[in-house]
Amino acid sequence: MVDEGGSPKAEDESVLSSERFWFALDRQLISSGLRLLLLLPSFSFLTAFGAFAYAQSSPAWWAKIEPTINLSFAMTLTALTFVILFGYIITQIVHRHRTRLSVANFQSEVDRLNLEHRAVQSLHGYEGLAHHMTSVRNKHTLSLVYAMVSTIFITAIFFVNIETLNGRILLLLSISFTLLSLAQHLSSRSRPFNMDERTGLLDAYNPPIHPSTLEMVFSDLVKTHMDPLLRSEYEVYSKEIESCILKGTDPQFAREKILMTLYRHSKGLDFKTMESELSEVLNESGMELVKTHPVFTMEEWLSIIHHVERSCPAFFRMIGRIEEDLGAGRDTVTDDIVFEVDMENVVHERANLFTLIHNLSDEPRTIVLRVQSPDFRPHDLAMTYRLSPGEQRWWSNKSLPLAAEGDEDVLGLMSGLLRDGTMAWQSLLPERFGEATVSVRLEEQSGDLLIGRQINVRVRSKYRERVRASSSLTANLLGGLGLILGAFIKIRDIFEAI
């Protein structure tokens, strides 16, 4: 495709460059940073209610100033409210424009991937993400309309004067529409998105499904939390990486070790040691690809890993505990099986239960993983697994360094354990808030207990989400009540005049 002025590619780059400017402005001043979208309407409420309070008479100290500016104290506050709302409209326009650019860039990227025969629309979660982005843009449009109507009512007060009943009704209607505008904005803040950053869609993307048994643990976990656009790029990246894996190295083991090493790098593993570990599975071209890839840079990987870690803290806590056992040379609970389980201490919306099972013996085994809880659905879950023996014994009874030459280190054993082991990921839905328990049992097919764990957690809603939802609902209710009250007062005045 020719990159000339007026070509589709040039237009796409122009839109992306435009979003970069508006997103920086939006992040620093409007939706984040100073948060003008919240501060300006809040100040407008203070000045508007002050105008209400002094609608009939100005304070005594204002008597010396009023002849100079020829405005009562209430009308001065009304004029200040108009200025604040005008600024609020400007911030709304900028914020909506930035959102519209993000949606346009998203659609442009989808079209580009379609031309490359990578149908993003067929990926799980695409429809939900596209609908969310469109819905947020529509909410911003409605919020802007409400703010403009509020400003029109404020302007009308200068023609009828606030001392009259009509003036006070107009001020009440203005406050009501400002509340409705603020409510629309608050409801759109929970899942922000942008296309300026490669990882700008991660917070907006809500994975609809995930595998119950992870084949390649780190890779499956990362792909589950990637938005459709990033996941499409990751598939290409994975194929490029596989072409650079050293001969004789299992591709699955290599991919898991790469992601494990990147995770450890995000936790403080120095760059030189990281390069040493990656060189055990990648050739020089692969090393260069990891360091200079245009999409998956080190910064992007850190953002992705941080996002996955926030979404599934139980998984990383579990592998951290296993790494500590490997590093200290601790024995497993039983001689022939590795069994670890973890779940979030505080559960929001759904609980992520991770279980790692690995057969250390030389014979295949069939076991039953049973999850029971009176506080979560499903209340009783049983899964039967046939555990094949690993290619080697991925455990050590002697202390090991975190990283060393070869696979006789914590990173090497952990990568092999994740590859040959069985990782189960179950989503449990809480039935009530408060304290809850989950019992996890590993049984023989006959029902005999091998290992059992009980997990105590606390179920509660997300504090920020609850505040946003309740604030949005309250603003909508107060705004609606204000409109009804204004209409009622005007109708009563008309009937009294008859």
Dihedrals phi, psi of 353, to nearest 5 degrees: -105, 120
Looking at the DSSP bridge assignments, the partners of residue 354 are 342, 425
- Alpha-carbon distance of 395 to 422, in angstroms, equals 15
Residues 36, 39, 45: CA angle, nearest 5 degrees: 135
Average pLDDT of 452-467? 91
Looking at the DSSP bridge assignments, the partners of residue 384 are 368
Average pLDDT of 276-283? 91
Helices (H), 197-312: 217-225, 228-242, 251-266, 271-278, 284-292, 298-311
Give the pLDDT of residue 166. 94
- Alpha-carbon distance of 422 to 450, in angstroms, equals 16
Average pLDDT of 145-150? 97
Confidence of residue 57 (pLDDT cuts 50, 70, 90): confident
- pLDDT: is 102 or 399 the higher one? 102
**Over 90: is that where the pLDDT of 119 sits?**
no
Highest mean pLDDT out of 139-143, 338-342, 354-358, 490-494: 139-143
* pTM for the predicted model, two decimal places: 0.88
Confidence of residue 7 (pLDDT cuts 50, 70, 90): low
Give the pLDDT of residue 417. 84
- 223: which residues sit within 8 A by CB, 6+ positions away? 231, 234
Lowest-pLDDT range of 14-23, 119-128, 366-375: 14-23
- Alpha-carbon distance of 327 to 411, in angstroms, equals 10
Residues of the chain with CATH 2.60.40.10: 319-460
**Over 60: is that where the pLDDT of 446 sits?**
yes
**Over 90: is that where the pLDDT of 329 sits?**
no
Specify whether domain 319-460 bears CATH 2.60.40.10: yes
